Amino acid sequence: MSGGGLLVAGTTSDAGKSVVTAGICRWLVRQGVKVAPFKAQNMSLNSFVTREGAEIGRAQAMQAQACRVEPTALMNPVLLKPGGERSSQVVLMGRPVGEMSARGYHGGRQEQLLGTVLDCLERLRGTYDAVICEGAGSPAEINLRRTDIVNMGIARNAGLPVLVVGDIDRGGVFASFFGTVALLSPEDQKLVAGFLVNKFRGDVSLLGPGLEMLHGLTGRRTYGVLPFQHGLGIDEEDGLRVSLRGTVRESQVAAPVGEDVLRVAVCAVPLMSNFTDVDALAAEPGVVVRFVDRPEELADADLVVVPGTRGTVRALEWLRERGLADALRRRAAEGRPVLGICGGFQVLGEHIEDDVESRRGQVDGLGVLPVRVRFAREKTLTRPVGEALGETVEGYEIHHGVAEVLGGEAFLDGCRVGQTWGTHWHGSLESDAFRRAFLREVARAAGRRFVPAPDTSFAALREEQLDRLGDLIEQHADTDALWRLIESGAPTGLPFIPPGAPA
C-alpha cells in the first residue's frame, strides 16, 4: 500500500515552497512519521552528491535532512543545470545525460521522463508513510502544462492533493491564489485543496476577512499563515538574489571572539554554483561575508573566495572584463588569502583545455596556481574524506575538469602556494575543526586579531534551523487538517472556478 502524499506548489518562484516543504517534513518526523521529500524536476546550480554518487538539488538534500533520512536520487530524479540563457545540462537519476535547449526539453524530452518520475515517486511512497513533494515555479504556467511533470502533471498522475503557497510580502497574494486556481482545468482544480500564506508581517487578525472572502470565492480554505522570519531559507535553488536572502547570510553577524572581524569577499561569477559553500564561513561569529563584482571591493577583504561555476571559461572572461582577474593576481603576489573552489580553483590555474563545457579549447587561466585543467566528458561525482591543516575534512565533488597539479603544497585534491588555496571539494568548510584552522591561518596572513569561536557547530546550526521550520508549521498551520490531506487526499466537492485552462 502506498503512503500518503502532498504537493506543495507556489503562486510564483521563490514563494517559499522549499522552506514550507522542509518545515512540513520536520514537523512530520517529529510526530514519528516516516517521511521523504520529492521534487520531480529541479532547475538549480546548487547541487549535492549522495552517498551512492548521484547528483541532486541541494534543496532536496536539505529536505532529506529535515526528514532525518539519507538523500537519494529518487528524491530528485531530474535536475537541470543552466549553462546559459537557452540551454541546460540534464541530470537524470543523478547522472548527466547531455545538454539540451529549453525548446528541445519542453518539446518532447520532458514528457518522456514522466514514467521515470512517477516510478521514483511510487517507490518512495511504497517505503515511507508520507512523501512531501515540491513543485516548481507556478502550477498555472499554461504554456507548459501539456508537458508538465513537476506540478499538476505529477499531481494528476499520482492523485496528490495540492497546497498552494503564496508570498504575501510581495503583495497581491489574494489575486495570485485566485488566479492560480482559475487558470487550471477542472480536473486539475479538483486536486487544489487550499492555500498557505507565507511571510506575513503584522496582526494576523487583519487578514481574516480576506481569507474568508477567498474561501467564499474559491470554496478552498487557507491551511495556515506563516509569519515573516529572518534566516529561514534553506539551500535554495538559483541566483545571487536568492542567496543573499539565505540562512546565515541574512542573519546579523555575531560579535567576534577576538578583537577583529574577518571580512570575506565572494566573487559573484556568472553561473555561480554551490555558493552555499560560504554559508559555513558566515556562520562563524565575527565573519562578514559579502558578494562582490568590482575590484575595489576586494581591497579591504581579508579573504577572497572564487566559488564554483557552471561556466569556468565564461567566469574567466568575466573576471578579466571586470578587472577582478588583475586584482586576484595582485593579491596572490602580495600573499593575501585567496580560496578557489571547484570552478574557482580551475580559473586560478595556468590553463584550461575545455572541449566539453564551453568548447573553447585551450584558454589561459590566471596563472597563480601550478595547475592545468582538462575537461573530461565524464563528470566526477564523489564524497571524499581527507586531511588538511592537521584536521579531518569531508566534502563532495561535482566537476568535469580534471586537474593536474604540478607543484605547490598539497591541499585536499588541489594545492596551495603561499596564501592562495585551490580545491575541487565543495562543503569542506562545513568540517568545523578544519574551518577553524583555516580561518586562523587567514587571520594570521591578513594581520587580523580574529579568533574563531571554539564551539561553532555548522551541523548543529542547520538542525536548529530545520527545527525552526518545523516549529513554524506546528505553531501557525492547521496540522490536523494538513495530515488529513496527506493521508486522505483533496476534499471532494471542490468547486470549479472559471474560466479554467485555455483550450
For 399-452, how does the pLDDT look when each residue is reduced to its tens digit (9 = 90+)? 999 999 999 999 999 999 999 999 999 999 999 999 999 999 999 999 999 999
Q: In this predicted structure, what is the pLDDT of residue 107?
A: 62
User: Distance between CA atoms of 315 and 308, rounded to whole angstroms?
Assistant: 9
Residues 25, 205: contact at Cβ < 8 Å?
Answer: no
pTM of the model: 0.92
With cell 587567514, the residue in question is 442
Confidence of residue 61 (pLDDT cuts 50, 70, 90): very high
Quote the DSSP letter at residue 199. Answer: E
Residues 223, 484: contact at Cβ < 8 Å?
Answer: no
Tell me the per-residue pLDDT of 460-492, one tens digit each, with 9 for 90 and over. Answer: 999 999 999 999 999 999 999 999 999 999 999
* pLDDT(242) > 70: no
With cell 540563457, the residue in question is 85
| All three cell numbers of 73 | 536520487
* pLDDT(239) > 50: no
Q: Within the chain, what is the greatest distance between any pair of CA atoms?
A: 71
Strands 262-267 and 303-306: parallel
Q: Is 342 a catalytic residue?
A: yes
Strands 162-167 and 4-10: parallel
Half-sphere exposure of 220 (CA within 13 A, CB side): 27
Tell me the per-residue pLDDT of 436-450, one tens digit each, with 9 for 90 and over. Answer: 999 999 999 999 999
**Three-state SS for 7?**
strand
Residue 379 — left, alpha, or beta (φ > 0 → left; ψ -120 to 50 → alpha)? beta
Q: What number is the average pLDDT over the span 373-399?
A: 95
Helices vs. strands in the chain: H and E counts, helices first: 18, 27
User: Distance between CA atoms of 25 and 65, rounded to whole angstroms?
Assistant: 9
The DSSP element (H or E) to which 17 belongs, if any, is helix 17-30
In DSSP terms, 163 is beta-bridged to 8, 194
8 CB-near residues (< 8 Å, 6+ apart): 17, 20, 21, 24, 132, 133, 134, 135, 163, 165
With cell 476577512, the residue in question is 209
Q: How many CB atoms lie within 10 A of CB 385?
A: 10
Query: Looking at the chain, how many residues does it have?
Result: 503
User: Distance between CA atoms of 472 and 224, rounded to whole angstroms?
Assistant: 10
* pLDDT(361) > 80: yes
* pLDDT(243) > 50: no
Strands 95-101 and 87-92: antiparallel
Of the residues 342, 399, 424, 476, only one is catalytic, namely 342
Of the residues 399, 400, 424, 426, only one is catalytic, namely 426
Strands (E), 20-112: 35-38, 41-43, 47-49, 55-57, 78-82, 87-92, 95-101
* pLDDT(501) > 50: yes
Q: Is 120 a catalytic residue?
A: no
Mean pLDDT of the chain: 92
Q: In this predicted structure, what is the pLDDT of residue 246?
A: 37
